Amino acid sequence: MEERLDGAGAPSATMTLQAAAEALGVHYMTAYRYVRLGLLPATKVAGAWEVPKDEVDRMLAERLTDQGGRPAGGRVHPAPWASRLEARLMAGDERGSWGVVEGALSSGMDPNEIYIDLLVPSLRGIGDAWAEGRIDVGVEHRASVIVMRLIGRLGPRFNRRGQTRGSVVLGAPAGDSHGLPTALLADLVRGAGFTVADLGADTPHESFVHTAREVERLVAVGVGVTTVDNDASVRALTSALHLALPDTPVLVGGSAVRDEDHARSLGADGWAPDGPAALALLEEVVAAAG
């Protein structure tokens, strides 16, 4: 065992993964799987895994077995999945990130919860780490790409059989390079039975209008606003949409929209602060259309 400094600067004892496996009474490969699943935090130093001793003690105290994170009593362990995922994303570990998602799925989380309670908070944590200067923007870019790939794997779970409830066009306005928020939202909306055309980041106003005219049975257009100081672009977009499609509700959301008043000032017909509220808003739009 040796001493090391953890992220906060406080000394904490570490042990090798082999020693951690022995302490936990599991095979080395099982301990390695815990690391890959994000169940056991570990850092690779000069090619060898180092595990904080207090994390091994915590695991022992929780009497975790090798049954997908369930404690001996069979109760589902209230695992801090989001912080585990955040750690794997920051490490650029795609396999480990998927392992955390698989672990959360097998603990009973459904795909909607994986998006809302796991992906969104992890991304927020990464954004905060960047804003506080704890990580380089390259780490954020790499994590974003991994999340895109996780979404690619999870997306088919949102497919619904049967007739579509109509089309929803989503995208970020010109000048906003955040495509992930509407990519995440798109799957939630698909899961509610709609067909989605997600235009992604930095979409010209004309492309929004063109797509909205082209899709079948348009229900609403949703604009994801994540970049602050881009309000003029959002206003120009909502005006262009209202002019071209006067009967179509234009919904606005995203972390750069402060509240309902702010959304209205951007020309929105409706606003929602998060994914579940966005789905509820869409139901209101459908109900109002009769």
Other Cβ atoms closer than 10 A to 54: 13
Comparing CB distances to ligand B12, the nearer of 199 and 252 is 252
Binding-site ranges for ligand B12 (CB under 6 A): 116, 120, 123-124, 126-128, 130-131, 140-141, 144, 175-182, 184-185, 201, 222-224, 226-228, 251-256, 272, 274-275, 278, 281
Report the 3 state secondary structure along 206-257. HHHHHHHHHCCCEEEEEEECCCCCCHHHHHHHHHHHHHHCCCCCEEEECCCC
Nearest distance from residue 183's CB to ligand B12, in Å?
A: 7
Nearest distance from residue 187's CB to ligand B12, in Å?
A: 10
To the nearest 10 degrees (0 to 180), the angle between helices 205-214 and 231-244 is 30
Comparing CB distances to ligand B12, the nearer of 39 and 256 is 256
Which residues have C-beta within 8 Å of that of residue 25, sequence separation ≥ 6? none
Q: Is the CB of residue 182 less than 8 Å from the CB of residue 170?
A: yes
Comparing CB distances to ligand B12, the nearer of 52 and 267 is 267
Nearest distance from residue 184's CB to ligand B12, in Å?
A: 4
Q: Which of 174, 194, 175 is nearest to 185 (CA)?
A: 194
Q: Three-class SS of residue 55?
A: helix
Nearest distance from residue 3's CB to ligand B12, in Å?
A: 33
Comparing CB distances to ligand B12, the nearer of 13 and 116 is 116
Comparing CB distances to ligand B12, the nearer of 14 and 182 is 182
Nearest distance from residue 259's CB to ligand B12, in Å?
A: 12
